[in-house]
Amino acid sequence: MKSAVILTGGKQYRVAEGDVIFVEKLEGDAGSSISFDKVLAVVDGDNAAFGKPFVEGATVTANLVKTGKGKKVRVYKMKPKKGYRRTQGHRQPYTKVQIEAINF
C-alpha cells in the first residue's frame, strides 16, 4: 500500500490513496483537481523515500470534495473585578479532499 506525508496549510498529513482528509482552506471549486507538490516522504511497501526537505518529483493528486466551516469555538475574555467581559465566536474554514493518486 502506497502512502505519503504531505505538507499543506502549515501542517503535515499522512495520506494513502482513497483517503478523505480535512485540510486548511484551499482555493478551488468542488469537483476540481489539485496537486500537492510538497511531499515529505513516500512509502511503497519495502521502498521508502524521504526528502531533504521534499522528495524530488513526487506529487499527490487529490479531488476537492467541498469547502465549509468547522464548529464554532467560543472565545471568552474576562478581567476580574473590572467589569470587562467579551465573548467572540470563530469558525475555522476547511476543505475536504479525497486523495486520488500518489505519483513517485
Give the mean pLDDT of the chain.
Answer: 95
What pTM value is reported for the model?
A: 0.84
Determine contact, residues 85/74, Cβ cutoff 8 Å.
no
Partners of 76 in the β-ladder: 87
Quick check: helix, strand or coil at residue 36? strand
Cα separation of 73 and 93, whole Å?
12
Determine contact, residues 4/49, Cβ cutoff 8 Å.
no
Q: For the CA atoms of 22, 26, 32, 38, what is the dihedral angle to 10 degrees?
A: -80
Cα separation of 101 and 82, whole Å?
57
pLDDT at 1: 82
Mean pLDDT across 6-32:
95
